[in-house]
Chain A
Amino acid sequence: MADTDHHVTELVEKARAGNRASLELLVDHFHKDVFRMVYYRIYSLMDAEDLTQDIFMQMLKSLPSLKDAGSIRPWLFRIALNRVRDFRRKKSILSFFGTTIELEAAAQATAENHNNPANAMMLKEFQLQFRQLTDSLSRREREVFLLRFVDHLGIREIAEVLKKGESTVKTHLYRALKKFRQNPGLHGLLKGGLL
């Protein structure tokens, strides 16, 4: 893990100095993480791809202003989060009508990638249960929960992304976990696990 962090820091330094190969490696390193982060916030495959492209363009533009190369991950997630917020603001009405269709389409697209029919079924169920859980959380709780357990950021990193105190992050996380514990459907699914 420390080696990976060191490697990423080196890539950031080289990319800032204009090394295109390092920049491409950096994008490759974070591409899936950023895409997934965006996807679980807007549940739209195409929009997530567009936003991911925008996020990396913003990263490219703002890279010289990054003070600490070691904190690239929370910095990038902060850019992503801001982009998602802008997107939601712009498409609040459209997404209200289109989300379910998008969600099903995305689930279908992912299910096609799974050869195991049981897993494909589980995927659909998971997506629905997961969506129900995130919908039951407040905006802050959802953000903190997703950043911690889906994007695997530490408390300090989350505080950095959200520009909040660590104690505030912990409070939101605690509330989110309480609601998570009260979701029986998702619990059953998680006990079953992947086949």
Chain B
Amino acid sequence: MNSKNLHLNDDQVIRSVVAENDLPPTVRNHLSTCLVCQGKKQQIEQELSTLGRMAREFAPLPRREVRLPFYKPRSLWSWRPVFVAGFAAVLLIAGIWWYALVTTSQEKMMSQIMWETKQDEQLMAEIYALEEYAPVDVYPDVSAEFDAGYFDEFLRFVSPLEVNQNAV
């Protein structure tokens, strides 16, 4: 591109007003040397400058002053309500947690005691029943499991050995 002969088009002139450094180097070089293109750019800049000046000049002035309340920067002491609120919240949470813990452990303990009491009562009922309906003393004597040697003796009494041998 022959930058000496090719002037900037309208788009490039506007782009140069927005940000000249964003233009391609060849266009930028041309702009730095070409008085025609510089003139176009300056014309837009002049118009914009006049626009800004007129806007400033023609804007109405505020009729009221800004009223400021008393301003005091926040010191650590000014955060006291926040600290107090935070501490109260921590206490509250700790209280709820402790109450829940105590209540739960008490409930657990009570249920354990009740279960043990029930077991004891059941055992005692069995013991009473055994005492109340205890078998007479002879029953253990005829029980096979009571004494195996006694059972053999009983058999010999019912069927003596000699009689058995003679029969054979």
Is the CB–CB distance between A31 and B71 below 8 Å? no
Q: Is B53 an interface residue (CB 8 A)?
A: yes
CB-CB < 8 A to A109: which residues of B? 60
- With beta carbons under 8 angstroms apart, the residue of B11, B53, B62 that contacts A194 is B53
CB-CB < 8 A to B47: which residues of A? 187, 190-191
CB-CB < 8 A to B68: which residues of A? 20, 23-24, 27, 56-57, 60
Interface size class of B (residues with CB under 8 A): 35 or more
Q: Once the chains are docked, how many angstroms separate the CA of A190 from the CA of B54?
A: 8
Q: Once the chains are docked, how many angstroms separate the CA of A194 from the CA of B68?
A: 36
Chain A facing B: main interface SS: helix
Report the count of interface residues on A (CB-CB < 8 A): 49
Q: Is B80 an interface residue (CB 8 A)?
A: no
CB-CB < 8 A to A152: which residues of B? 52
Is the CB–CB distance between B51 and A149 below 8 Å? yes
CB-CB < 8 A to B11: which residues of A? 178
Q: Once the chains are docked, how many angstroms separate the CA of A193 from the CA of B52?
A: 11
CB-CB < 8 A to A56: which residues of B? 66, 68
- With beta carbons under 8 angstroms apart, the residue of A18, A20, A57, A194 that contacts B54 is A194
Q: Is A87 an interface residue (CB 8 A)?
A: no
User: A48, A127, A150, A170 — which one has the most chain B CB atoms within 10 A of its CB?
Assistant: A150
Q: Which 10 A-B pairs have the closest CB atoms?
A: A18-B73, A35-B62, A36-B59, A110-B60, A150-B55, A56-B66, A190-B50, A190-B47, A123-B58, A177-B14
13 chain-A/chain-B pairs, Cβ below 8 angstroms? A20-B68, A23-B71, A52-B66, A106-B60, A110-B59, A130-B51, A130-B54, A150-B52, A177-B14, A178-B11, A181-B10, A191-B47, A194-B53
Residues of A at the B interface (CB closer than 8 Å) are: 15-18, 20, 23-24, 27, 31-32, 35-36, 39-40, 45, 48-49, 52-53, 56-57, 60, 64, 106, 109-110, 113, 123, 126-127, 130, 149-150, 152, 155, 170, 173-174, 177-178, 180-181, 186-187, 189-191, 193-194
